[in-house]
């Protein structure tokens, strides 16, 4: 168990790790940069009126790039940029909250020390030997008046000591209440970020990954925006996308009748947003009995 960094509060009102939030921000920024790079790449393709190929058993050339993909990439970029801002604000708020927690812990330490001194003073006041004068007998009025004065002073000191203890305890309770409110605010802020941000686990593609990949699709279509990439489920239940580094490898691994499309590798993040998958396999050979032609 992690040691409580705020021992005088008795609990950690800001249990989140600023370092982990900063790392999360780095991950979201990396995803954002990847989508921006994709958008830039596709913009260059559209501006140069480059042909994008859509294949069945043969090549077919389309005159314009996939507008649906460009639109989805725009949505993805906006969403990720909003997420990056949320995480950045979360980190700023968290850092500030941790400073407040440290201040509260220091205040609690001071008040607890004062409370301890007040308890000691209360014990001394209770043990004042002058209280024994209440049971003694006096022969003169002067002795009685002196004893009464000492008793009054002892009682006043006891009353003051009790008040000091109560004041210190109220101060401690107020500090703990402020720390509890800080904890509640921190939990709320964390929930807001969790509910509104995209926090994908980004695993960079290997450097040798091809810049363009060929993807099996479910059916032959006339327009790329209508294509649905073929996803496969692994034995452990995860969803996988199959990608191929060349068209001949796709035909060899999936069969010559397999419909296909190609896409820039940097666009895979956007495809994953549109059709979520957890794994990406390159040049994976599909057994004959599991190929599309044998499943229909």
pLDDT of residue 198: 41
Each residue of 97-155: pLDDT tens digit?
Answer: 999 999 999 999 999 999 999 999 999 999 999 999 888 888 899 999 999 999 999 99
pLDDT of residue 130: 92
Cα separations in angstroms, 168 against 107, 144, 208 = 11, 36, 66
DSSP 211-270: SEEEEEBSS--SSGGG--B-EEE-TTS-EEEEEBSSHHHHHHHH-TT--EEEEEGGGHHH
Q: Report helix, strand or coil for 59.
A: strand
pTM listed for this prediction:
0.54
| pLDDT tier at 191, thresholds 50, 70, 90 | low
Which among 288, 220, 277, 287 has a CA at the least distance from the CA of 243? Answer: 277
Separation of alpha carbons 90 and 81, rounded Å: 14
Radius of gyration of the chain (CA): 36
Lowest mean pLDDT among 8-22, 60-74, 164-178: 60-74
Each residue of 50-91: pLDDT tens digit?
Answer: 444 455 444 443 434 455 566 666 767 777 777 788 788 888
């Amino acid at each position: 168990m992690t040691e409580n960094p705020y021992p005088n509060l008795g609990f950690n009102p800001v249990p989140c790790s600023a370092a982990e939030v900063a790392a999360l921000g780095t991950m979201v920024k990396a995803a954002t940069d990847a989508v921006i790079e994709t958008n830039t790449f596709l913009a260059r393709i559209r501006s140069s009126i480059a042909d994008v190929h859509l294949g069945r058993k043969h090549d077919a050339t389309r005159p314009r790039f996939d507008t649906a993909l460009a639109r989805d990439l725009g949505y993805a970029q906006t969403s990720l940029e909003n997420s990056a801002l949320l995480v950045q604000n979360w980190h700023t708020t968290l850092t500030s909250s941790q400073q407040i927690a440290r201040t509260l812990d220091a205040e609690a330490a001071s008040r607890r020390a004062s409370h301890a001194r007040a308890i000691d003073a209360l014990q001394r006041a209770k043990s004042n030997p002058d209280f024994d004068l209440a049971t003694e007998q006096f022969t003169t009025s002067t002795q009685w008046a002196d004893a009464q004065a000492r008793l009054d002073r002892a009682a006043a000191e006891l009353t003051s000591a009790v008040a000091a203890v109560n004041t210190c305890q109220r101060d401690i309770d107020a500090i703990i209440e402020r720390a509890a409110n800080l904890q509640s605010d921190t939990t709320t802020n964390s929930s807001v970020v969790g509910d509104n941000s995209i926090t994908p686990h980004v695993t960079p593609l290997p450097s040798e990954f091809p810049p363009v990949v060929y993807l099996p699709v479910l059916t032959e279509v006339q327009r790329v925006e209508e294509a649905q990439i073929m996803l496969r489920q692994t034995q452990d239940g995860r969803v996988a996308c199959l990608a191929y580094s060349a068209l001949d490898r796709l035909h060899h691994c999936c069969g010559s009748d397999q419909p296909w499309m190609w896409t820039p590798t940097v666009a895979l993040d956007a495809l994953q947003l549109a059709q979520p998958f957890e794994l990406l396999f390159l040049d994976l050979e599909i057994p004959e009995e599991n190929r599309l032609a044998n499943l229909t």
